[in-house]
Amino acid sequence: MNGKDKRLHGSFGDSVIERKEEADVEEQQAGGGEGKQEKTAKGFKPNALLYLKKIKEPGFAAELKRKGCSGWPCHAGFLCDFCMLRPEWIAESKLEPLNEEIAELKQSIIILRKQQQDVETLERAERLVAGKYWSKSDEERKMTLNSMLEDSTARVEAQEATRAKIAAEKVRDSLLDQLSRVQEKVKLQEKDNTSLKQQVMALQQTLEESRRKLNFVEKDLEDKRSMISEAFKEKSRATTEARRLKLEVEATNMEIAVKNEQEDEAASSSSSS
């Protein structure tokens, strides 16, 4: 294992984390004990089933979340949270249990065939011992029937495998379709967000312009208030001055009236004497 294989890039490539030897051992055990060169030669892919089992462990999940996605292959041969979002990996992880079940069924069929062959051999031996004769045509007929049975069983297995593959492909296509719809929704949301941002910027500019106009109007209003206050003060001074002049005029008129009365009295007294 060279230095490049032992070092895994962390999230966004901002850190480097040493690959753990025990993780390599566990990965080899889960993958059937194959070495690193054999996995590379066979096009090794991360073990999704083992990942789904291990990710339930709190320590392992926390470690993966801390280290982040390490690229391909993922950490210790497992799929990280980021890669598990990819529909093709989810589809493959669902397809693997079906393939394992098919392999188990094939193995069971092989065992049953062997048992059937053993039973048929015993039956033939019993017939030979009991009847002491050998029927070649019966044996050929049985061989033909067994061959037909094997062919039909193989066809059933092939049909089951094809059906499982089609189901997995449908799941994959459905997930890909869902992903494309989600991406379209995200694009539309981004467009809406861009439009809303532009509207907000326009409203902010309008608000700023309104604030400037409001400041100007407030300043103008303050000036007018000052002018009105000065006008009221001037009016008050003029009113006071008018009252003073009116009082002076009234006093002057009274003085003139008194003088006129005095002159009239003086004139009347002089005429009587």
Asked if residue 115 and residue 66 are part of one domain, the reply reads: no
Query: Smallest Cα–Cα separation from 182: which of 117, 85, 92?
Result: 85
Span 106-158, pLDDT tens digits:
888 888 888 888 777 777 766 666 655 555 666 676 777 677 777 777 778 88
Q: Which residue has the higher pLDDT, 266 or 197?
A: 197
Q: Which residue has the higher pLDDT, 49 or 219?
A: 219
In a domain, 114, yes or no: yes
Task: Read off the pLDDT band of 261 (50, 70, 90).
Answer: confident
Q: How far apart are CA 18 and CA 24, in angstroms?
A: 12
Asked if residue 96 and residue 76 are part of one domain, the reply reads: no
Mean pLDDT of 238-246: 91
In a domain, 101, yes or no: yes
pLDDT(46) > 70 = no
pLDDT(61) > 80 = no
Asked if residue 79 and residue 119 are part of one domain, the reply reads: no
The mean pLDDT value of the chain amounts to 73
Helix (H, G, I), strand (E, B) or coil at 19: coil
Asked if residue 91 and residue 17 are part of one domain, the reply reads: no
pLDDT(2) > 50 = no
Mean pLDDT of 88-101: 71
Q: Both tokens of residue 93? A: 């992880």
pLDDT(10) > 50 = no
pLDDT on residue 53? 73
Percent of the chain exceeding pLDDT 90 equals 16
Span 190-200, pLDDT tens digits:
888 888 899 99
Q: How far apart are CA 116 and CA 124, in angstroms?
A: 12
Asked if residue 189 and residue 109 are part of one domain, the reply reads: yes
Asked if residue 196 and residue 117 are part of one domain, the reply reads: yes
Return phi, psi of residue 55, to 5°.
Answer: -65, -20
Range of the domain at 41: 1-85
Asked if residue 192 and residue 130 are part of one domain, the reply reads: yes
Contact 168, 95 (CB under 8 A): yes
Asked if residue 113 and residue 65 are part of one domain, the reply reads: no
pTM as predicted:
0.28
Helix (H) or strand (E) holding 131: helix 87-131
The last residue of one of the domains, among 85, 116, 133, is: 85
Q: How far apart are CA 199 and CA 84, in angstroms?
A: 38
In a domain, 264, yes or no: no
pLDDT(174) > 70 = yes
Q: How far apart are CA 96 and CA 89, in angstroms?
A: 11
Q: How far apart are CA 182 and CA 215, in angstroms?
A: 48
> How many domains does the chain divide into?
2
In a domain, 230, yes or no: no
Beta bridge partners of 9: 16
In a domain, 70, yes or no: yes
Contact 5, 73 (CB under 8 A): no
Asked if residue 189 and residue 95 are part of one domain, the reply reads: yes
